[in-house]
Amino acid sequence: MRDDSPGPAGWVEEDGVVLPPGEVRARLLQDPLAASSFGGEFYLSWDGYRARDALGIVPGPIPPGTILDGDRVIGKVCPRFRKTGLAEAIVTAVQLRSDRGVVALSGGVDSALVAAIARRPCIVAGMEGSFDLEGGRQAARELGLDCTEVTVTPADVEDAVPGVLSLIPEKNPLDLSIALCWHFIARSARDAGHDRVLSGQGADELFGGYSRYLADRDTDALLAADFARLPGQIARDQAVATGEGVLISYPYLDARVIAAARAIPAGEKVSGGIRKRALRKVAAEFLPPGIAWKEKKAMQYGSGIWRELQRLARKRGCRTVGEYLARVPG
């Protein structure tokens, strides 16, 4: 039986308690539908049955949130948890994931809040002088956390492009630029002996972090549309991370955090020209004001990877990054 042992199979929790592999095994052997109440991030396979976590965080050959007997769906995974306010939900979600691993830290509020609660070592990655490298370094210093700095060189980017491009489902410039960031983070985590990286992803889609939220009149619809795109982004990033023997973990995509976030009106998430206001209010309880209210660029821009891809395309005589990718062997 493949269960919640450390590694690509993930981990299981119920009601805020991580279940030992032996207990997971015993429950599933007694009743395959026991998986219906499991939270966590997992793909499980036992005695012809299979189950995968509700959002499909862990890669697996079955749809997210399903329990299968052979190829027949016999149940759905609906995590059982106690509903709480946002602050408690985030703390619980992070603590459930903090028994091991590192935090991917960029200096923005999303990852810094995770780092402040987890108190785990951090990894910051980016081109020399990039926003993320400098911001992550400063945040780690202010939070008093151990931090590994990964300074990515132009040669590193060029060397990594073919391999990363071969792994990701959608082979376009945007997805490649983000996947490259995760490649360098996951590789560093692996080299340091870690198999889990805690990520701040999902906060923008739950709390209104993108600049377009400031101008849109139907914030709820926009949030829902962006959240619906998350499974594709998770599949992309996990494809790169698991290639390095690492699994990305997403505290903000914990069922209890999603429920707490959706209970907050859109007007409390984006207002007065401030994005993610509700999250920042929680973060202000754990972070210095300069981090809690700091604006940040998206990963591909803040790391400098997107600019380096543009430079690389020009170096190869291409007008666009897309044209360059079309010429990459493989």
Q: What per-residue confidence (pLDDT) applies to 107?
A: 87
Q: What per-residue confidence (pLDDT) applies to 9?
A: 78
Could you give the C-alpha distances from 259 to 43, 89, 253, in angstroms and in order?
Answer: 22, 9, 10
Query: What would the mean pLDDT of 81-85 be, rounded to a whole number?
Result: 93
Query: What would the mean pLDDT of 71-91 be, rounded to a whole number?
Result: 96
Residue 77, pLDDT > 50, answer: yes
pLDDT digits (tens, 9 = 90+) for 239-286: 999 999 999 999 999 999 999 999 999 989 998 889 999 999 999 999
pTM, two decimal places: 0.93
Model confidence at 216, pLDDT cuts 50, 70, 90, reads: low
Domain extents for the chain?
10-76, 86-305
3-state secondary structure labels for all residues of 225-275 = HHHHCHHHHHHHHHHHHHHCCCEEECHHHCHHHHHHHHCCCHHHCCECCEC
Model confidence at 213, pLDDT cuts 50, 70, 90, reads: confident
Model confidence at 3, pLDDT cuts 50, 70, 90, reads: very low
Number of CB atoms found within 10 A of residue 293's CB: 16
pLDDT digits (tens, 9 = 90+) for 163-199: 999 999 999 999 999 999 999 999 999 999 999 999 9
- Looking at the domain that runs over 86-305, which CATH code has it been given? 3.40.50.620
Number of CB atoms found within 10 A of residue 83's CB: 11
